[in-house]
Structure 1
Amino acid sequence: MKNQILLFFIVLISNSMKAQEIKTMTYFQNDTIKLELDLYLPEKKSNEKIPLILFAFGGGFSGGERTNEKEFGIFMAKNGYAVASISYSLYMKGKDFGCGGILTEKIKAIQIGVSDMWQATSFLIENANKYNLDTSKFFISGISAGAEIGFHATFWDYKLMNLYKSNLPQNFKYAGFIGGSGAIQDINLITKENAIPMLLAHGNDDKTVPYGAGSHRSCPTNASGWLILFGSYAVYKHMNDLHKNIELITFCGGGHEFSGYLFHEGQQYVLDFVNALLKGKKFESHLIIPSGKKSASSGKYLFCE
């Protein structure tokens, strides 16, 4: 009986692993760097084109791995979406990305990461037919530094800020943005014309990336690495002023530890968000605020009723 139960679970695990395909490929290479991505593909059911979510990991542009959110890629693939988790240049590795760093270096780190994301996007557009991807339904996402890449890749001027050759289609636009504890350098980059639907999550006591408008790493204004950023709540208010769709999950009293929430415990939020957009469903911008109180049994933050 025990052997039968064991066999059952082996078959179950085996079947679940076959629910998607993971391909690793090089999307950019030159004399000094080689960048790869992991493409999570759903089990092919028809010739219908597959929506794609590009994902950038967190780590302060100095660390992290594209495999950190493997479970997110598998979850979305099982639900009919492709996910491309990219590696990008860790320009700040061995450097100070905090208050004692150099401002121009911090901005350059973001620009390099964004250029890498644009390069990955271009690569996947060029290979869309090979993997049956729908280039009109490319979403962008990320955690912390990866969310900063996502924000700026969406709203920076591609021709002005791209460090590589210009190879994205002229009218290309991401279908939506999913960001965990990210921020943008200039809130006015988001306009009525270029705004896209967003799903964001952030702790309102984040000392690393500001929840509203504030300095990166809470640095004082006289610090060499002082950098003003507009976090998720600032973006939320701005999007509301523009009458554009956005959902923000705020963790009351929470810090930067909630940066990965949407890609771990909150995966269903992401799935519901992209499903709603692709079905053409209109949703009202709203703020979801957990209570900030922890359950004695689980230690997790509880949601407001």
Structure 2
Amino acid sequence: MKKTILIFLFLICCQNFLAQEKLVDSLYGVMEVQTEVYATKAGEDLIVDLYKPEKSKEKTPLILFMHGGGFSGGSPKNPQEVKFARIAAAKGYTVGLISYRLTRKDQSFGCDFEAEGKIETFKFAAEDFMDAVAFMKNNSEKFSIDPDKIIVGGSSAGAEAVLNAVYNPELMFQDSEKYRDIKFSAVISLAGALVDVRYLTQENVVPGIFFHGTADNLVPYGSASHHYCENEQPGYLILDGSKSIVQKLEELETSFLLYSFEDAGHEISGMPFDHLQQVFRFLNSVVFNNQKIQSKITL
């Protein structure tokens, strides 16, 4: 009788394991972080910290994430991003957390900083981001990643750089052909915005996941001035936030997942741990199973 019960319990455990989904559930241990230099600019090594699943025998999809910090601070060592990277790696992704040039270090990025300078700041960060993507794609065999399954994301300033690189390449790069071989599977934005949503077209559209507070006073939820600067101030620059981007994705019949947090501010740029399982289910459905999902959730 005891033996029968043990066999029964073993079969239940096996069924539960088989019911778990790769890239959705945590199935792997996580290897020690591996740090690589993807570029050296102005004497500074720019790095990517890689978190990989243990004992994965197949090439893994890549998530490349860019930290926030107003282009003046922040680090890929941020505990929130590291926790996210380990969660995603346990599900079967390789995750890269990147550093980039902090061109506004010890300087303002607010209303006293001219709009032209803000655009240049976006361009520098977008270039660093794309160079990191190119490095990972060119070394896909070394890192055992699938170069055709690249998901990218960022928080706050990092999200601005990533969104502009993905959706506004014509505005960001003098020679966008330099990155013509790079294709993205999806983009994740935590309180990010674009320079001009009109440049988001059928040619460069990819599915998007967006988290944004409707009362964000730094990065607009809809279309408004960055930091809500007044028209006469040097830093007056209209940006298109998550709501406006999603409206465009809807027009282009592209998948999206929008989390709108009523009356919340820029704190929504933090990692959305309470909603990550829905994020991974969206990616699994849209990126890996070619489903179309257009979902707006207001909290």
TM exceeding 0.5: yes
Provide the identity percentage. 35
Question: Which residue is equivalent to 2:298?
Answer: 289
Letter in 1 for 2:249: M
RMSD: 2.0
CA deviations on 1:48-106 (whole Å, 9 max, x unpaired) are: 21100110001110111112110000000000001110001111112220001122211
Question: Which residue is equivalent to 2:227?
Answer: 217
2:286 is matched with which residue: 273, 277, 292? Answer: 277
Is structure 2 residue 70 aligned with structure 1 residue 60? yes
Question: Which residue is equivalent to 1:131?
Answer: 143
Structure with higher helix content: 2
Superposition deviation, residue 18 in structure 1:
4.9
Question: Which residue is equivalent to 1:40?
Answer: 51
Superposition deviation, residue 153 in structure 1:
1.2
Following the alignment from structure 2 to structure 1, what is the Cα–Cα distance between the partners of residues 62 and 265? 29
Q: Calculate the TM-score normalised by the size of structure 1.
A: 0.84
Over 3 Å counting, the alpha-carbon distance change for 1:166 and 1:235 in structure 2 is closer
2:99 is matched with which residue: 84, 87, 98? Answer: 87
2:268 is matched with which residue: 252, 258, 262? Answer: 258
For these two proteins, the number of residue pairs brought into alignment is 271
Letter in 1 for 2:54: E
Over 3 Å counting, the alpha-carbon distance change for 1:77 and 1:153 in structure 2 is same
Could you tell me which runs of 5 or more consecutive residues in structure 1 were left unpaired when the two chains were aligned: 1-15, 291-305
Q: Could you say what secondary structure the match of 1:210 adopts?
A: coil
Q: Which moved more, 1:53-62 or 1:236-245?
A: 236-245
Over 3 Å counting, the alpha-carbon distance change for 1:166 and 1:31 in structure 2 is farther
CA contact (8 A) 1:56 1:146 kept: yes
Q: Could you say what secondary structure the match of 2:283 adopts?
A: helix
Over 3 Å counting, the alpha-carbon distance change for 1:193 and 1:162 in structure 2 is closer
Q: Calculate the TM-score normalised by the size of structure 2.
A: 0.85
CA contact (8 A) 1:21 1:43 kept: no
CA deviations on 1:181-236 (whole Å, 9 max, x unpaired) are: 10001011111222111110100010110000001111111110111100000111
Map 1:22-171 → 2, pairs under 5 A: 22-46=33-57, 48-68=58-78, 69-157=81-169, 161-162=172-173, 167-168=178-179, 170-171=180-181
Following the alignment from structure 2 to structure 1, what is the Cα–Cα distance between the partners of residues 109 and 28? 38
Q: Could you say what secondary structure the match of 1:20 adopts?
A: coil
Q: Could you say what secondary structure the match of 2:274 adopts?
A: coil
Following the alignment from structure 1 to structure 2, what is the Cα–Cα distance between the partners of residues 44 and 163? 42
CA contact (8 A) 1:178 1:270 kept: no
Following the alignment from structure 2 to structure 1, what is the Cα–Cα distance between the partners of residues 238 and 293? 29
CA contact (8 A) 2:65 2:95 kept: yes
